[in-house]
Amino acid sequence: MKSGLRNQLAEKMAGEITLSDSPGHALKKWRMNFEVAPGMLAERLDVSPSVISDYESGRRKSPGTAVVGKIVDTLLAIDEEDGGRHIQKFSTMLFSNVEDDVIYDLHEYETAVPLQDFADAIGCSSLWGSLDKPIFGYTVVNSLNAIMQLSSDEFNRIYGWSTERALVFTNVSTGKSPMVAIRVTPFKPRCVVLQGIEAPDVHPIVVKMAERDRITLLCTGMDVDKIVSTLREQEW
């Protein structure tokens, strides 16, 4: 799978790790995104597992560009040997040409953010699922425009670089439309936030769909602009 997309994905990963204020945390995020155990990565790199642990925790000096490139290539090679599932997923998300009236805001976190902290910041009420989970990003989406304008492939791009994120769907009436759209696409977010609706007004089937797909479901009455500004101000 030595394709152009594969190479572009490698450049994206290496660039993010190298330029990050916390390269070790960025490295750990990508290793976890590709579901590669530290021991397996260490074995393929012919180093001790403690070396990987020290890089990720910041105990060891950040690796140089050559080492980062080798780590990234190893992660991709391991995935290719397993069918390239993660490469395909992230390559699908590589370019986001979605209009501004569909995505209001999209952000990736360098380190895991507790979902509870995220929910508290934008005044969420819990409808189903655990808040004791991390997220690595969020997307604020115009619910109606996303459903009306995006193809299934384009819809997948709202996930940014990780499905372990919160999708905030704005101006929903019952919550059914965004959850149905998620059900018929291959990727599932860690959390869905329904904006502009109170808990009693959420259709019961929405909660059942969230439970079936194991998606934490929240709702908030906070104004969209306030959500965007609040999340951008957070120092996570």
CATH number for 77 = 1.10.260
- Which structural domain range is residue 79 located in? 4-92
Query: At which of 92, 111, 127 does a domain end?
Result: 92
**Parallel/antiparallel/unpaired status of strands 216-220 and 191-195:** parallel
Phi, psi of 122, rounded to the nearest 5 degrees: -115, 25
Task: Specify the pLDDT at position 2.
Answer: 46
Confirm whether 97 is domain-assigned: no
Exposure string of 204-229, with b = 16+ CB inside 10 Å and e = fewer, is eebbebbeeeebbbbbbebebeebbe
pLDDT of residue 6: 78
pLDDT tens digits, the chain, 236 residues: what are they?
445 667 778 888 898 888 888 888 889 989 998 999 999 999 999 999 999 999 998 888 878 889 999 999 999 999 999 988 888 777 666 555 556 688 888 888 878 899 999 999 999 999 999 999 999 999 999 999 888 888 777 787 788 878 899 999 999 999 999 999 999 888 899 999 999 999 999 999 999 999 999 999 999 999 999 999 999 898 77
Same domain membership, residue 112 and residue 36: no
Rounded to two decimals, the pTM is: 0.67
Q: How far, in Å, CA of 85 to CA of 35, rounded?
A: 11
Helix residue ranges, H only, 46-175 = 49-57, 65-81, 85-92, 115-121, 143-149, 152-156
- Same domain? For 77 and 124 the reply is no
- Structural tokens at position 35: 């579901």
Q: Are residues 108 and 208 in the same domain?
A: yes
* DSSP symbol at 46: T
Number of domains in the chain: 2
Q: Are 203 and 176 in contact (CB under 8 A)?
A: yes
At 110 the pLDDT is 79
**Which amino acid type is present at position 129?**
G
**pLDDT for position 152:** 76
Same domain, 82 and 123: no
Longest dimension (CA), the chain: 56
How far is 152 from 156, CA to CA, in rounded Å? 6
Same domain, 22 and 134: no
Does 98 map to a domain?
Answer: no
Q: Can you give the length of the chain in residues?
A: 236
In a domain? residue 206: yes
Q: Is residue 33 part of a domain?
A: yes
Q: Of 92, 125, 146, which residue is a domain's last?
A: 92
**Residue 189 and residue 87 share a domain:** no
**Same-domain pairing of 88 and 107:** no
Domain identity same for 133 and 206: yes
